Amino acid sequence: MGYSMLDFESATESDFWMDEILGFNNLTLAILLAVVVIALSTRFLTMWLAPKLLKKIITSDSIENKAVKDSDKALGNAAGAGVSFFIFAEMIDAMSVATSSIMMPQIIINLVPGALQLIISVCLIMWAFRLIEIVQDIVELLDDDEELDGTEKTLISAIQSVLRFVIIFVGGVFIADSFGFNLTSLIAGLGISGIALALAAKDTISNFFGATTVLLDKPFRVGDWIVVGSSEGEVIQINLRTTLIRTSLDTVITMPNANLVNSPVENYGLRRWRRWQTQLHMDINSDPAAVDNFCDDVMKFISDNEFTTKEDSSWCRVNMISPTSIDLAVNLYWAVSGSVQERQEREKLILEIMSLAKKNSLQFYDGRVRQQR
């Protein structure tokens, strides 16, 4: 029985694909070359396409630059390695079939998947660390006044610290897996170590979650004047473990954040208005009509002040009389932004009261003068 020329060429071609070189046959080398071409194409396609897709979703140039443009190589390498890992895994599965034509050395089978997984893990970790930087851009984008205060900066720092820890932990697990470590034993060991660490650092962890609560609930901000128990002062810094409070004596109290969460906090900085009350003691010999005019003049000055609020709850009227003085009660509210402005308005009112008393020929009661008489 003879063979035709077509059969001979077919047999020759089949022999060519099955020829072995360094443990590979030509068919496997051709497939691997195709994998390299596909991986490179995927890499460049990802680097070109990702910014265009992201631009349609994200309007912030800063976020786009940090998320893709500044880390496009890491993202492209991860995509190319991911495609290679998937195809190579399919090739290894195909080799388990008895009729498979794929041939490669065992050392390649053992090393390449782990190497590709290592490349993917490292590239994604690098990209994830770049993404951490967009936390500040996102907070600025969501912030109404477009200006970050000390509290928001601390919140950003806290979120970034947590994200770094998570990325390092998860990335470390995947890198360990790429080197062939037993993940079950590794995670179990990390879990036991984590429990021991949590017990040893429970106060630090409590303070950290206290800081998170303070930063999210915002019971006070940097610059607010607060009272916590017997401590009182201006908040100058909110850290992950402690909050610094400067007292009226210019000393600094370091307050653990756990204490702030578990204690009532009185915040003067959240006041909608500032209330001022005082008593004016007029001489007992004052003319009643002059006192009445004086009260009306004081109320007119209070009403005309641009910072006065709650006018219905403000007054300047005779409150009490004694053998030596006529006592006037003054009550008013100012819608001012801070203590400095409050002191300025108080000073203006006191000076005006002095001027109106002189205008109405009234004298304030002085117990020392009365005793000398």
**Residue ending a domain, choose from 241, 270, 299:** 270
- CATH number for the domain spanning 354: value is 3.30.70.100
| Domain contains 302 | yes
Specify whether 35 is located in the same domain as 116: yes
Question: Across 115-119, 132-136, 174-178, which has the greatest mean pLDDT?
Answer: 115-119
Specify whether 26 is located in the same domain as 138: yes
pLDDT band of 25, cuts 50, 70, 90? confident
Q: Determine the structural domain holding residue 239 and report its residue range.
A: 210-270
Specify whether 90 is located in the same domain as 115: yes
Q: Dump pLDDT digits (tens) for 282-299.
A: 999 999 999 999 999 999
Distance (Å, whole) CA 335 – CA 343: 12
Domains identified in the chain, total number:
3
Specify whether 33 is located in the same domain as 141: yes
* Burial group, residue 1, by CB count within 10 angstroms (0-12, 13-18, 19+): exposed
Specify whether 301 is located in the same domain as 313: yes
| Domain contains 188 | no
| Domain contains 77 | yes
Specify whether 29 is located in the same domain as 70: yes
Distance (Å, whole) CA 72 – CA 221: 38
| Domain contains 154 | no
Query: Per this entry, what is the length of the chain?
Result: 373
| Domain contains 308 | yes
Asked if pLDDT for residue 370 goes beyond 70, the answer is no
Q: Dump pLDDT digits (tens) for 331-361.
A: 999 888 777 888 899 999 999 999 999 999 9
pLDDT band of 195, cuts 50, 70, 90? low
| Domain contains 189 | no
Asked if pLDDT for residue 368 goes beyond 60, the answer is no
Specify whether 265 is located in the same domain as 278: no
Long-range CB contact pairs, 260-263, < 8 A, 24+: 260/210, 260/214, 260/219, 260/228, 261/209, 261/210, 261/213, 261/214, 263/228, 263/229
Quote the pLDDT of residue 185.
64
Specify whether 61 is located in the same domain as 129: yes
Quote the pLDDT of residue 237.
84
pLDDT band of 316, cuts 50, 70, 90? very high
Specify whether 132 is located in the same domain as 253: no
pLDDT band of 313, cuts 50, 70, 90? confident
